[in-house]
Structure 1
Amino acid sequence: MEEAIGLNIEGVRKKIHHGGTGELANFISGSKVTFHFRTLKCDDDRTVIDDSKKVGVPMEIIIGNMFKLEVWEVLLTSMRIGEVAEFWCDVTHYFSLLFSKHWKVQSHTLVHIKCRSHYVDRQLLKHTGLYPIVAKSLRRIAEGKDPTDWHIHTCGLANMFAYHSLGYEDLDELQKEPQPLIFVIELLKVESPSMYKRETWALSNDEKLKAVPVLHGEGNRLFKLGRYEDATNKYREAVICLKNIQTKEKPWEVPWMKLEKMINTLVLNYCQCLLRMEEFYEVLEHTTDLIQHHPGLTKAYFLRGKANAEVWNEAEAKKDFEKVVELDPTMSRQVKKEIRKLEMRMEEKEEEEKLKYKNLFP
């Protein structure tokens, strides 16, 4: 291979397979770049690790501060439209290359590397090998699965370290024993910021912060209209905006805590929608997670109590309602109403069971 023209990066080499057309595109900050890529091992067989064409969906990234895909951005900005080039990257560069807060592969798919309670700096990410995580997401798309496994409360990096496996042997091996990789990239399209409708994931941090109250307000409006699923989408989008910003702050310091408080409010609104949608076990999951991190959240106990009541967990529901009154005595009247409702439901259930058994054994 020959040295990549204009890259001037040690440990990266480029070979052009097809020259493309025209001059280099104007890769200004905020430009959306669409491309296909194939990842190969540097072995004699040039073993293919991943191929976006097999998935059938090209990758999209946003150039500049909105999307920190550092070395990969440099590779792309050395290319012309239609160009197919092969880049060899040593271990250091492909770790750096995959430092990313977002990876967008289609308009409704966001792979978001979430970290709720762990401070992750750039050097740590450089040396933990994020490529296997990105590859796992691409494969889940190919399998028709949700690439994000999106849960409001889940920390993807923490899960990776906790379970030590990504579910694919070759990716686990690559994670354990990093090695140089080859990326074959085909540049399809470059769009300036004014040429496409920017989705929330593509906004700057300031723009995300401005979008959050709008999304929150729209979610509230939809909730009042009884459009609960639409409301959850707005709350979810607002949470993702805030979590993207939060990853740049150190946990439990003032800026992080301000964002956390906003996130908690949105998650609780999200859970209210789930209650109306009768997704009781998901409410239990989210509220329990909130309580584990923030044991003073009165509303989390109240919503969990209501969800427990709906799934006949009488003792757990009463325990949650008692905690609500302990934290906020002004809610005692509302709690008494919920407990009475629960007791009536339990009595009705008991009567139904007695009648059922009576009919079984006349």
Structure 2
Amino acid sequence: VRGFIGLFFFLWLLFLQVTFHFRTTLCDDDRTVIDDSKVVGTPMEIVIGNMFKLDIWETLLSSMRTGEVAEFWCDIIVSPSEYNRESWALSDEERLKAVPVLHGQGNKLYKQGRYQEATQKYKEAIICIKNVQTKEKAWDVPWLKLEKMANTLTLNYCQCLLRMEEYYEVIEHTSDIINQHPGAVKAFYLRGKAHMEVWNEAEARQDFSRVLDLNPGMKKAVKKELAVLSMRMEEKNQEDRDKYKGMF
């Protein structure tokens, strides 16, 4: 059954945070209500431009003005018996309770080699944390605890991306973490592996060196990665020599 979404957008905050109420109904004669944020008692909140954004809401809200009530028809199939509230429709308490569950589900999927599905679990957990985090004062103790949780999930997400060969995205996300938390050993290690895959030899060696500075106990793991890096760079250099030897 095709449905439409009615949105009431009532507040635009700094940092492009949007808070609004919504109602989702079927397009039957009775306009059967599937979900209503006012009944739940919790408005929806998103941060525009967040890397774990909900694109459909950003698209709809960008066409609205503050205080406007609008109705949108969504070309999707919704089964009332299968409908579940998404993480953004939960209360803050429910979101925080959902995080370890989603984290565990993501880890299980990762071990099963179902990396795409695992990324979705990690992303949903991160969204839960970020929605709660926006209500805390930056760098206060509660905010920092949430940040640590989000970083752990982001690094798990990056492990999946490595398996999926999304190396530049790994470099982007790990660099964001390193810029804020320069002691994040795992972020340097994953970024080093990503640099290695895209032939950034100097950057990879620099990251692995930083891993050893921060955690000498990872010497064996780093030594193994450096050996692979040296072998791969030698193979690449030989390929380049063979490719260009007849050109000059």
TM-score (normalizing by structure 1): 0.52
Amino acid at match of 1:297: A
CA deviations over 1:8-45 (Å, ceiling 9, x no partner): xxxxxxxxxxxxxxxxxxxxxxx97237xxxxxxxxxx
Q: Identify the residue that residue 42 of structure 2 maps to in structure 1.
A: 67
CA contact (8 A) 1:298 1:324 kept: yes
Question: Are residue 34 (structure 1) and residue 24 (structure 2) matched?
Answer: yes
Which secondary structure does the structure 2 equivalent of 1:101 belong to? strand
Amino acid at match of 1:228: Y
Query: Which segments of 5 or more consecutive residues in structure 1 lack a partner in the other structure?
Result: 1-30, 36-59, 69-99, 103-111, 117-133, 141-167, 175-179, 187-193
Q: In the superposition, relative to structure 1, how do residues 300 and 62 fare at CA in structure 2: closer, same or farther (>3 Å)?
A: same
State the 4+ residue runs in structure 1 displaced beyond 6 angstroms. none
CA distance in 1, matches of 2:227, 2:204: 12
CA contact (8 A) 1:114 1:244 kept: no
Q: Identify the residue that residue 196 of structure 2 maps to in structure 1.
A: 309
CA contact (8 A) 1:66 1:203 kept: no
CA distance in 2, matches of 1:135, 1:220: 28
CA distance in 2, matches of 1:184, 1:333: 59
Amino acid at match of 1:62: S
Which secondary structure does the structure 2 equivalent of 1:197 belong to? coil
Q: Which moved more, 1:199-208 or 1:240-249?
A: 199-208
CA contact (8 A) 1:66 1:202 kept: no
> Displacement, 1:321?
0.4
Q: Identify the residue that residue 283 of structure 1 maps to in structure 2.
A: 170
Q: Identify the residue that residue 149 of structure 2 maps to in structure 1.
A: 262
Question: Are residue 208 (structure 1) and residue 90 (structure 2) matched?
Answer: no
For 1:152-191, list aligned pairs within 5 A. 183=69
Question: Are residue 352 (structure 1) and residue 236 (structure 2) matched?
Answer: no
Q: In the superposition, relative to structure 1, how do residues 114 and 203 fare at CA in structure 2: closer, same or farther (>3 Å)?
A: farther
Question: Are residue 320 (structure 1) and residue 211 (structure 2) matched?
Answer: no
CA distance in 1, matches of 2:244, 2:202: 24
> Displacement, 1:271?
0.2
Question: Are residue 137 (structure 1) and residue 24 (structure 2) matched?
Answer: no
Q: In the superposition, relative to structure 1, how do residues 203 and 114 fare at CA in structure 2: closer, same or farther (>3 Å)?
A: farther
Q: In the superposition, relative to structure 1, how do residues 138 and 328 fare at CA in structure 2: closer, same or farther (>3 Å)?
A: same
Q: Could you say what the CA RMSD is over the residues aligned between the two structures, in angstroms?
A: 3.4
CA distance in 2, matches of 1:228, 1:315: 29
CA distance in 1, matches of 2:40, 2:138: 22
Which secondary structure does the structure 2 equivalent of 1:249 belong to? coil
Q: In the superposition, relative to structure 1, how do residues 184 and 229 fare at CA in structure 2: closer, same or farther (>3 Å)?
A: closer
Which secondary structure does the structure 1 equivalent of 2:84 belong to? coil
> Displacement, 1:333?
1.4
> Displacement, 1:67?
3.1
Q: 1:230 aligns with which of 111, 114, 117?
A: 117
> Displacement, 1:201?
1.8
CA contact (8 A) 1:115 1:247 kept: no
Of structures 1 and 2, the one with the larger relative CO (CA 8 A, separation 6+) is 1
Q: In the superposition, relative to structure 1, how do residues 206 and 325 fare at CA in structure 2: closer, same or farther (>3 Å)?
A: same
> Displacement, 1:288?
0.3
Query: Which segments of 5 or more consecutive residues in structure 2 lack a partner in the other structure?
Result: 1-20, 26-34, 73-80
> Displacement, 1:137?
2.3
> Displacement, 1:198?
1.9
CA contact (8 A) 1:304 1:317 kept: yes
CA deviations over 1:219-269 (Å, ceiling 9, x no partner): 011111111110000000000011111111111111111111110000000
CA distance in 1, matches of 2:106, 2:132: 20
Bigger share in helix:
2
Which secondary structure does the structure 2 equivalent of 1:302 belong to? helix
Q: How many positions carry a matched residue from both structures?
A: 211
Amino acid at match of 2:38: I
> Displacement, 1:202?
1.3
Which secondary structure does the structure 1 equivalent of 2:199 belong to? coil
Q: Identify the residue that residue 240 of structure 1 maps to in structure 2.
A: 127
CA contact (8 A) 2:45 2:88 kept: no
Q: Identify the residue that residue 95 of structure 1 maps to in structure 2.
A: none
